[in-house]
């Protein structure tokens, strides 16, 4: 980011000019980088109260930056933090073993459940921090995210061209993203779609909640049955759009929430599936594919052992 502090700005206020390296980046993610040591809850409070502005206008958490934008950041007091401890060797080995593809532009992980995409909110080291620690001096950036509890394909960029190119393809809907999920109960059809707008809100403390709402953003998910069980259905979910928690909220909206979903799911059903060995959200990013610079990329990962074990228990 190219920085140009305005001489007319009040003391402590920063006014920055966005450089091309942040083209298309969400402002909440940019602020998390620019305001090192500031809790996420404070970042979202600054946005919610209109203290952060882009080109003079109030910015929302999902506002995307463009090269040349003028970003105003209010004075923020950052508490002194002890130096971050180096990640344990076992964690570095775990993330190194999870790499399934690499070229000069991209690095792809089969991310284990329980590993956050990035640090923050009580998490010292996410996938990106671990990889940077394992590969000092190498440029690595997250192209997209997976929730901590979600396993599967996670793509990182090793070049600026790869980062901006793939993120642009994601925004244009040119990337295929498919997930495997266990829906509670028995959907009436083996193949169906959910075309319901979603509205995102940020609760006090920075927690994100999403709800089906007529005034939300368009959201489309295609569901297709893969395997049948007495207590639920293993489904393939293909994203038509990429909204936060989209599969989880759409599944709950049609009355068949995902097994193990503590936020949008059914508590009684979750207790039942826990007895079958399910210890987390049953959601796995199984496939991601796209074309870039004349080359086709496709990455697929199977269900991890913990989720396959749950299905084996259901089949007995």
| 85 exposure class (CB count in 10 Å sphere: 0-12, 13-18, 19+) | exposed
Q: Which residues are catalytic?
A: 147
| Distance (Å, whole) CA 201 – CA 213 | 11
CB 204 within 8 A of CB 247: no
Two tokens at 66?
A: 């463009």
Angle, to 10 degrees, between the axis of helix 40-48 and the axis of helix 27-34?
A: 130
Please give the angle made by the CA atoms of 67, 71 and 77, to the nearest 5 degrees: 140
List C-alpha distances in Å: 145 to 65, 115, 237.
18, 11, 17
The tokens for 7 are 């001489």
């Amino acid at each position: 980011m190219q920085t140009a502090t305005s001489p007319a700005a009040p003391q402590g206020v920063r006014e920055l000019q966005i450089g091309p390296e942040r083209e298309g980046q969400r402002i909440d993610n940019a602020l998390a980088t620019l305001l090192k040591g500031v809790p996420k809850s404070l970042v979202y409070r600054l946005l919610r109260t209109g203290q952060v502005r882009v080109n003079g206008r109030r910015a929302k958490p999902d506002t995307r930056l463009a090269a040349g934008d003028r970003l105003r950041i209010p004075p923020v007091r950052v508490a002194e933090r002890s130096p971050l401890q180096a990640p344990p060797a076992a964690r570095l080995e775990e993330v190194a073993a999870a790499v399934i593809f690499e070229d000069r532009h991209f690095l792809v992980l089969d991310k284990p459940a329980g590993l956050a995409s990035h640090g923050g909110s009580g998490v010292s080291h996410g996938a990106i921090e671990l990889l940077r620690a394992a590969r000092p001096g190498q440029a690595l950036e997250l192209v997209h995210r997976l929730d901590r509890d979600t396993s599967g394909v996670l793509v990182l960029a090793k070049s600026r061209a790869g980062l901006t190119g793939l993120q642009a393809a994601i925004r244009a809907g040119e990337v295929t993203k498919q997930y495997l999920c266990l829906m509670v109960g028995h959907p009436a059809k083996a193949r169906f779609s959910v075309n319901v707008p979603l509205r995102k809100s940020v609760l006090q403390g920075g927690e994100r909640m999403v709800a089906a709402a007529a005034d939300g953003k368009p959201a489309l998910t295609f569901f297709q049955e893969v395997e049948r069980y007495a207590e639920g259905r293993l489904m393939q979910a293909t994203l038509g759009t990429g909204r936060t928690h989209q599969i989880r909220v759409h599944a709950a909206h049609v009355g068949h929430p995902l097994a193990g979903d503590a936020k949008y799911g059914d508590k009684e059903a979750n207790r039942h599936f826990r007895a079958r060995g399910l210890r987390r959200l049953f959601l796995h990013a199984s496939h991601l594919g796209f074309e870039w610079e004349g080359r086709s990329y496709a990455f697929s990962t199977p269900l991890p052992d913990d989720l396959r074990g749950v299905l084996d228990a259901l089949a007995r």
